[in-house]
Amino acid sequence: MNLPTSAADKAPLPQDETSGPPKKRGVPEGLWLRCPACSATIFRKHLEKNFDMCPECEHHFYVSCRRRISQLLDEESFEEWFPGLMPTDPLGFNDKKPYSQR
């Protein structure tokens, strides 16, 4: 049984601008890290609980100054003195890269 169809019935449906191929629902960025020393895959929260040290090979990851202070001291017990203080080179130490470029 053939039903009469109009041009509107044959026209393609308009696609929503947001539609398209379905997006992958993967792991959020930065949730897992790979140890540069032993290539172990480490959950970021486990690394933080282990004081930024690989549980497999004990490789020490980079820790910022603020994070190190928070690891070592009790909350609200640290008072920063001279926040604008910058390092100097009174001895004129020579290295491959000057302090000003570090």
Closest C-alpha among 51, 17, 58 to residue 37: 58
φ/ψ bin of 53: left (φ > 0), alpha (ψ from -120 to 50), beta (otherwise): beta
* SS3 of residue 34 by DSSP: strand
Q: Of 90, 37, 25, 83, which is closest to residue 62 (Cα–Cα)?
A: 37
Mean pLDDT of the chain, nearest integer: 82
Q: Where are the domains of the chain?
A: 30-74
d(CA 30, CA 88): 35
- Stated as kind and residue range, the H or E segment containing 72 is helix 65-72
pTM of the model: 0.54
Q: Token pair of 6, please?
A: 């109009």
Judged against a pLDDT cut of 90, whether residue 62 lies above it is answered with yes
List pLDDT tens digits, range 16-51.
556 666 666 776 788 999 999 999 999 999 999 999
